[in-house]
Structure formats: C-alpha cells, structure tokens
Amino acid sequence: MAFLRNYRYLDRPPAPEIGVSRAIAIGKFDGLHVAHQTILKNVVLVARERGLTPCMFTFTPHPRYVLQGDEEYANLLTPPGERARIAATLGMRETFVAHFDARFRSQTADAFFDDYLLALGVAHLVVGYDFRMGKNGANGVSDLKQIADKYGVTVEIVAPIDQDGLRVSSTLTRNALAQGRPEDAAHLLGRAYRIRGEVIHGAKRGRTIGFPTANLTLCEPFVVPKIGVYAVYAEVDQKRYRGVMNLGVRPTVSSQGELSFEVHILDETLDLYGKTMDVLFVHYLREERRFNALDALKEQLHEDVRCARALLDGLSRV
C-alpha cells in the first residue's frame, strides 16, 4: 500500500535530519476518532501556513498495555498499519511509530524531546489536552510547552470534544463495539469501524447449505466487536459488497470454540482466496446461537440475509 512508503518504525531514536521542518501530532491515536482527527486537521492547517511537513507520531504497543498490563489493549481499534493508512487520508505525509518498550518509557521528557522530536526537525507540535510524557507520564502539556519554548518550537493544545453529552474517547468507542452498537462507534469514529484480514480456506460447510463464506484471518490485532451476526460491507480490490458476517465460534457446526470471522457476500460469487478483505460493521443483527438442525440454521440465515439486504439497501439510498 502506498501509505507504507511514509511509515517509519522507530525502535530507537532516529538519526538527526538536516534541512527538514515538520509539524507533528503526538498521541496514542487508538481509533483515530473525531477528536483525534481534529488534532491531525490542525497539524495540516499549520503545515500549509508555514510550509512544514505534516506528520503523526504515535506508539506501539499501546502504553496502557505496557504500563498497566491491561490485556484488552493488546488489541487495538487502529493497529499501527491501519492508523497510518487513515492518517494518510487525513493529510499526514509521514507516520512515525515509536516502539514503547522499557527504554522508551523510562526516558525523561527532555530526552524524548531532544532524541526524537528535535532529531525529526519539529517546528510545531499539536497534542490533546490530556497529553503526558516522561517517565511514568510525569509531565503534561505545560511541561511540553516549557521545553518547546527553549527551542523555538510552537505548541498547540486541542481541547476535548463532546458528543451527546459524552466526551469522545477510545474507551467510549471500545465500549460501543463490545456492546454490539457499531452505529454508535461509527458516530465517534466519523466512519464505520473496520477490521482487515486475508481470506483463507475453511471447512467450506457454508457452501453445502447455500451460504458460502469468506473466512478471514486478521492482518493486525484489531479490537473484536461483540460476538454475533452483523450486516456489513466487505471491500476487496477497491470494490464494495454487501454482506452478512458471523463473528463467533459456530456452535451449530463446531465444538472447537475457536473464534472465526466469516463473511457471506450477498448476490455475488467471487474467488477471494488469498485476497485482503476489509469488513465494515454496520448493524448488529442478532446473537450467535446453536441450532439443533441444519435446516433451522438455513432458515435463520435466510432471515439474516433478508434483514441485512433491507438495511444496506436503505443505507445506499441515503
């Protein structure tokens, strides 16, 4: 993908760059929700005004996973590759992804500024109101401004954004997905939540009952929404298809308990093996459940397709 040419993974401080001047957004940016997008848009505006290169600086793994051992944050709304892809669509010319390891998290705020930001030619910074840096997050935005002032680097702090009386956040987005509310997640993200995977060979049981599915293995560690059946869009080779996704353990046909991602494309017969598919979650149709007979499963699948088609056709006319 084209954006990967401008994706730089930093497992150590970069070598100082001469003759470059960058406007840089710094943050975890998990989800790149509408509040994050405000930060990136402000970077683009200043970069245009001052002739700077607009960039995003972010981290992997998620600091909460490293610092607090929170296993939920081993999976991300926007893993690094997806984060860089979205950032490129928002005007970021480069994405820097720093490896958040023991060395990185133990550095002082001054060391981070000197070894990373100055080395990258920072001229302007944009961060959120809750930005923290330094060992154990000891330093906030006032400290950032004080350090930046010493080098003539300007700093902009973006205020929080509320929607429907709630503060937009990655946690709020995660909760919406965990509760089977992809529409609410889309409202926070400014787009439908998506995962990406490679289509692999499965047991091919679906085709024996008239519902062939594309089985996915995820390309990156995405947050997995609530188990169940969804109306979705599937994107392959820059084409969008309507579909129904079963996200779950297939209790009617399998006793393994292994999580699977299966997409039935509506009204199309496609050879998708080995291709990359993006799945956009539109609406939660129902919980996954076990059926006592395949005929009962088939009847329910017909109903799922009918509901998904009606819903997605309605959206296409909006």
Please say if the pLDDT value at position 136 is more than 70. yes
pLDDT score at 185: 98
The pTM of this model reads: 0.92
Backbone angles phi, psi at 110, to 5 degrees: -65, -40
Q: What mean pLDDT comes out for the span 210-237?
A: 95
Please say if the pLDDT value at position 99 is more than 50. yes
For residue 101, give the H/E element and its range. none
pLDDT band at 47, cuts 50/70/90?
Answer: very high
pLDDT score at 268: 87
DSSP designation for 157: E
Averaged pLDDT score across all residues of the chain: 92
pLDDT score at 160: 95
pLDDT score at 64: 93
CATH 3.40.50.620 maps onto the chain at 2-167
Beta bridge partners of 60: 99
Q: What mean pLDDT comes out for the span 11-30?
A: 96
- Contact status, residue 282 vs residue 243, Cβ threshold 8 Å: no
CATH 2.40.30.30 maps onto the chain at 192-316
Beta bridge partners of 27: none
- Contact status, residue 26 vs residue 57, Cβ threshold 8 Å: yes
pLDDT score at 162: 96
pLDDT score at 295: 82
Kindly report, residue by residue over 51-91, the tens digit of the pLDDT. Answer: 999 999 999 999 999 999 999 999 999 999 999 999 999 99
Fold (topology level) of 192-316: Elongation Factor Tu (Ef-tu); domain 3 (2.40.30)
Fold (topology level) of 2-167: Rossmann fold (3.40.50)
Torsion of CA 10, 78, 268, 300, to 10 degrees: 140
pLDDT score at 318: 38
Cα dist from 222 to 80, 132, 217, 308, whole Å: 10, 25, 11, 24
Residue tagged 């296409």 (tokens): 316
Among 11-20, 177-186, 248-257, 261-270, which stretch is predicted with the lowest mean pLDDT?
248-257
Report which of residues 202 and 47 the model is more confident about.
Answer: 47
Q: What mean pLDDT comes out for the span 29-49?
A: 98
Kindly report, residue by residue over 239-285, the tens digit of the pLDDT. Answer: 999 999 999 987 555 556 689 999 999 998 888 999 999 999 999 99
Q: Is the peptide bond before 13 cis (omega within 30 degrees of 0)?
A: no
